[in-house]
Structure 1
Amino acid sequence: MTALAGPSADTFWALSLRRWNAVCWVLFAAMAVGIVMMGLPGEGMYQALGLLGCVVLSYALLDRFPDNRFVRPHVYLTVLVLAIGGLAYLRTSYAALFMVTLPHYWMFGRTPRASMGFLGLATATTLLGSWLQQGWSAEFLGETAVSTLIVVAVGVLIGLWAHSVVEQSTERARLIEELEQTQARLSEAHQRQGAADERERLAREIHDTLAQGFASIVVLAEAARAGITADPARSAQQLRSIESTARENLAEARELVGSGQRPEQAAAGSVAQTLRRILDRFVEDTGLTVDTTLADLGCDQQTRIALLRCTQESLANVRKHAHASTVGVVLARRPYGVELEITDDGTGFVVGDSAGFGLDGMRKRLAELGGRLTVTSSVGDGTRVLATIPLEIPGDLEGAA
């Protein structure tokens, strides 16, 4: 999955603040020039420059040391409120400073309530300074008070709108971050699940191919060693079977390591032909009687491999556990697909007590193809393994061997 990307609200806010800082320095400089050019009488010009300097110094310290405990945003806003009131009393360009610093109340107020509070204080000190200087004159009531209130009203509206936008951006950034984290966790889960599935698949392939081959080699080697004096011909045949099984195991191992896929050679030829070769080898190695009825079915490679592995696992269980004398193998086409049945007349077992990897591996392999494995057995009554795979097999030939 591709994670949604976008600038966070904090990044956007920091970038906007840096840009506004640059604008503020230019405006502060222009205001200082304007105060000098106004030529206030007496010490008024120096007092106005001093008030503006206090604002600039506080702003510079806040910008340079944002984490300093003595230079808090509220300290700067307090200095700004007092300076605007003082400039209004001096009848200088307080309105310009008021308008230039309007965004600061929303930037540094932290909350809408605090921003509105400082903006209200700035309005009050401005009107107070102007009233102390002008009194209840027509100029104060008609121009100063009205223009100040209009500027404040516009600032409030803009500030509330900006705060709403920032809040939405913050919420959107939070949702995007949560979505990215969820996507990352989901991707990790998919990767872990994929790795687990691949390990399970490899374990099943190794169990059904290499492990079964090695088990056959061990059994044949023990039999050959035991009969090497009494029946040399039989031992020689078993040694040839060991060699053949070892070569097949080597080919299987190379296929697994080289491609990481299911060995394709295992499914070469028709299902019936492949099963006959396996059963001939089984009879040769064990001497058991095997009755077969194998329909000549055409099916896809995965189905061939599943039928082959189920046969190999069932025969391996007969060899190791059943102590049987006769084995029956039936491969047939049914209306719902293909059916493989393997029976023996051995000692049987309690199916519910079986905890081996082989039966579970067969079930999972068949389940991947929509099939099912049914195992019927009881102690002393032999075992029946039935594998069914739903399959449409158009135009295949059915025959019996």
Structure 2
Amino acid sequence: MTTATAPLADTFWATSLRRWNAVCWVLFGAMAVGLVTTAPPGGSSYRSLALLACVVLCYAVLDRFPGNPVVRPQVYLSVLVLALGGLAYAGSSYAALFMVTLPHYWMFGRTPRASMGFLGLATGATLAGSLLRQGWSAEFFGETVVSTLIVVAVGVLIGLWAHAVVEQSSERARLIEELERTQARLSEAHQRQGAADERERIAREIHDTLAQGFASIVVLAEAARAGMAEDPERSARQLRSIEATARENLAEARELVASAGQPGPGRVASGSVTQTLRRTLDRFAEDTQLVVDADLADLDCDQQTRIALLRCTQESLANVRKHAGASTVGVVLVRRPYGVELEITDDGTGFVVGESAGFGLDGMRKRLAELGGRLTVTSSVGDGTRILAMIPPAHEGEA
């Protein structure tokens, strides 16, 4: 029996033993009464009672103290073998004791080999005791040997069948336990992955909304302070833009707090993606005084696609504002047979795409990848930058 299945088999045997105990005590008592009432008085009767008492005492100690270092299961079975041989020699109720204790070989033997070994010793001791008492007679061969072997054969078949059942049950229980552990680990992994995905989503939303808004506020505040004396009207417009951006950031912050623990994209005002992008581009042109050339097809998209296109536009415009040093920005939104395309170009300083380590481009790639889309960035130093976002038809149907 393997180490994994041994505890399960031990539980089975312990349960079976508890059920058999009550029957054993009744049968032991009946055997003692039978010896007292039917056996003729004399030394033989007393020896039989003494042998039975030894068996009962060992069994009681084993039952009451299963971890006893003196009376172990092997000790009890050895005493039982000797008692059967002695009772067979005395001719006193050995057959009854043999049948009563037959299950004990399988309960206490632990393994089929040990059980078969003790059962063989008990059979041999019984036959040896009977042979010494009866001699080589027809009665010995006709009754004792045949009846003993029949009882032993039945006991062996029942015991082997019980062990097979236990092995199957133990293996089944082991597989169920292993499956439960695997399911528990899988559930924990899903929970950890879900938490990581949610943290990444919130970080991306904060970067694409709050962080960009704060960056715009800083740039506008610096420009307003620098031009307050020379161009008060322009500074006033910039202050209004700061106020509007701050209000939008406040609304975005409240939305992020409200959506905490609810995976999914942040809220974007409903309506045409074209209208949403045009408002964003108008605000950008007003704040930066750059030329924005927009060619936006009139498209209706689902919420996820609209959010992705808006976030890509916001991130691209923020990079133009902070890094490009451009004078003109071009934005093209068009529906292709393979999906929706958003192209944003600028005539700025450009950069080496392979050396870019910012969070923004990586966030755009992941956002588009979640919708089955892709992001293509083309740029080189001194030649401007081209951002191309594509979202396939599965996520650009009408809202």
TM-score range, shorter chain: over 0.9
Partner secondary structure for residue 380 of structure 1: coil
My pick for the range that moved more, 344-353 or 56-65, is 56-65
Query: CA separation in 1, counterparts of 2:164 and 2:330?
Result: 79
C-alpha distance after superposition, 1:261-305 (max 9, x if no partner): 556642422011001110111011111110000001011111101
Deviation at 1:394?
Answer: 7.1
Residue 270 (structure 2) aligns with: 268
C-alpha distance after superposition, 1:310-357 (max 9, x if no partner): 000100110111011100000011111111000000000000111111
Deviation at 1:102?
Answer: 0.9
Residue 254 (structure 2) aligns with: 254
Residue 147 (structure 2) aligns with: 147
Contact 1:252 1:263 in 2 (8 A): no
Contact 1:210 1:252 in 2 (8 A): yes
Residue 244 (structure 1) aligns with: 244
Deviation at 1:45?
Answer: 2.4
Query: CA separation in 2, counterparts of 1:49 and 1:258?
Result: 84
RMSD: 1.8
Q: What amino acid is the match of 1:304?
A: R
Structure 1 unaligned runs (5+)?
1-6, 397-401
Contact 1:212 1:313 in 2 (8 A): yes
Query: CA separation in 1, counterparts of 2:50 and 2:79?
Result: 12
Partner secondary structure for residue 374 of structure 1: strand
My pick for the range that moved more, 374-383 or 331-340, is 331-340
Query: CA separation in 1, counterparts of 2:292 and 2:373?
Result: 25
Contact 2:265 2:304 in 1 (8 A): no
Aligned mate of 2:375, from 363, 373, 376: 373
Residue 355 (structure 2) aligns with: 353
Deviation at 1:239?
Answer: 1.4
Distance 1:17 1:104, change over 3 A: same
Query: CA separation in 2, counterparts of 1:246 and 1:289?
Result: 24
Contact 1:9 1:173 in 2 (8 A): no
Q: What amino acid is the match of 1:356?
A: G
Residue 309 (structure 1) aligns with: 311
Structure 1 segments of 4+ aligned residues over 6 angstroms from their partners:
392-396
Deviation at 1:174?
Answer: 1.7
Pairs aligned (count): 390
Q: How does 1:66-77 map to 2 (within 5 A)?
A: 66-77=66-77
Contact 1:267 1:301 in 2 (8 A): no
Contact 2:259 2:266 in 1 (8 A): no
Deviation at 1:122?
Answer: 0.5
1:38 aligns with 2:38: yes
Query: CA separation in 2, counterparts of 1:11 and 1:138?
Result: 45
Deviation at 1:44?
Answer: 2.4
Q: What amino acid is the match of 1:281?
A: R
Structure 2 unaligned runs (5+)?
1-6
Residue 292 (structure 1) aligns with: 294
Given the two structures, how large is their TM-score scaled by the length of structure 1?
0.93
Q: How does 1:128-147 map to 2 (within 5 A)?
A: 128-147=128-147
Residue 15 (structure 2) aligns with: 15
Deviation at 1:230?
Answer: 2.4
C-alpha distance after superposition, 1:53-88 (max 9, x if no partner): 111111111122222222211111000000111111
Q: What amino acid is the match of 2:203?
A: A
Residue 191 (structure 1) aligns with: 191
Contact 1:342 1:386 in 2 (8 A): yes
Query: CA separation in 1, counterparts of 2:160 and 2:130?
Result: 27
Distance 1:10 1:331, change over 3 A: farther
My pick for the range that moved more, 55-64 or 370-379, is 55-64
Residue 337 (structure 2) aligns with: 335
C-alpha distance after superposition, 1:126-166 (max 9, x if no partner): 11111111112222121111111111111111111111111
1:174 aligns with 2:177: no
Partner secondary structure for residue 330 of structure 2: strand
Query: CA separation in 1, counterparts of 2:51 and 2:112?
Result: 27
Q: How does 1:38-117 map to 2 (within 5 A)?
A: 38-117=38-117
Partner secondary structure for residue 268 of structure 2: helix
Residue 231 (structure 2) aligns with: 231
C-alpha distance after superposition, 1:178-204 (max 9, x if no partner): 111111111111111111111111111
Contact 2:353 2:379 in 1 (8 A): yes
Partner secondary structure for residue 340 of structure 1: strand
